[in-house]
Amino acid sequence: MTTFRALVATKGETGPSLAFADFAESDLMEGDVTVRVTHSTVNYKDGLAISGKAPVVRRWPMIPGIDFAGRVETSEHPDFKPGDLVVLNGWGTGETHLGAYAQKSRVKGDWLVPLPAGLTPAEAMAIGTAGYTAMLCVLALERYGLKPADGPVVVTGAAGGVGSVAIALLAKAGWHVIASTGRAEEADYLKGLGASEIIDRNELSQPGRPLGKERWIAGVDAVGSHTLANLLSMTKYGGAIAACGLAQGMDLPASVAPFILRGVALLGVDSVMCPKPRRLEAWQRLAADLDRDKLAAMTTTIPLEDVIETGKAIVEGKVKGRVVVEIG
């Protein structure tokens, strides 16, 4: 029987029970491509799954991990052959389908994206779901017609994964980036990524007025709740905020005032079920636009054994930038 090393989560009374184990390849779920996983990452969503602070995992037992990079071992899918390097983000991996914190994964080939030319598997996971989501937010703002000449862009959760990549992408594109963070000690890090201004997240995280002073034309928000409501209330006429997260909360205690008095738009960004053509566009843009030196500066590398500890730390706001998990 062929086995491989995996982090297995079982349902406990007070949250997931996590342990490394030898997992049988015959117990992998259905799919037409088997991948030897070489790298994964730790996203905020992975932290929620590992800590049990949100019901991310919906099937037990589960191998957590929502994205991976690796090499195809076997394939019955016409687009992939053994030896191909691939990337996977989302599609329920680590939620309802056995996930990435393992040496092997079997998935549907339609879920996979070829590793973009110029990116290594480690760099792809330094980007990971967080960076890919940041790119989807940038694309959403672009499709809406916004450009750097229109005014500043604000990025919340700036020192986190989505925020770090968003700042690097937006700054390179010529935007004046306002970074909102609760970690004042990361000012030099954020400026190194390209932030022009840094504001304390407390300016945005408390209940605010339906309409505030107009401060930015665009925004990328991974926080939700009062923060997103305040972003909207301070958006300039005709601007838009791309929303992709809920680090502060899933609620949105806002009013319709920004929408009906300033023509502001709220652009929802989903990375999990995002259609493949848009995924391919996002990954090609990341390969072309993301400064590799800035990516390296925001990235820490850990072994698979450190995933549990790091997953708990990311939910507590103790992880800066991006984390690569070396697996294979």
Under the banding of pLDDT at 50, 70 and 90, the label for residue 253 is: very high
pLDDT in tens, 2-61: 999 999 999 988 889 999 999 999 999 999 999 999 999 999 999 999 999 999 999 999
Mean pLDDT for 282-289 is: 98
Give the pLDDT confidence score for residue 12 in this predicted structure.
Answer: 83
Give the pLDDT confidence score for residue 1 in this predicted structure.
Answer: 74
Residue 245, C-beta contacts closer than 8 angstroms, at least 6 positions apart: 44, 133, 157, 162, 221, 222, 223, 224
Residue 271, C-beta contacts closer than 8 angstroms, at least 6 positions apart: 89, 90, 129, 132, 133, 136, 244
Q: What is the pLDDT of the chain when averaged over all its residues?
A: 97
Report the amino acid identity of residue 126: A
Say what the pTM is: 0.96
pLDDT in tens, 183-213: 999 999 999 999 999 999 999 999 999 999 9
For the chain, what are the domain ranges? 3-115+298-326, 129-268
CATH 3.90.180.10 fits 3-115+298-326, yes or no: yes
Q: Which residue has the tokens 């790119």?
A: 135
Give the pLDDT confidence score for residue 15 in this predicted structure.
Answer: 81
The CATH number of the domain covering residues in 129-268? 3.40.50.720
Cα–Cα distance list, 174 to 110, 124, 169, 271 (Å) = 35, 24, 9, 25
Mean pLDDT for 155-183 is: 97
Give the pLDDT confidence score for residue 262 in this predicted structure.
Answer: 98
Q: Which residue has the tokens 């009013």?
A: 255
Mean pLDDT for 83-89 is: 98
Under the banding of pLDDT at 50, 70 and 90, the label for residue 81 is: very high
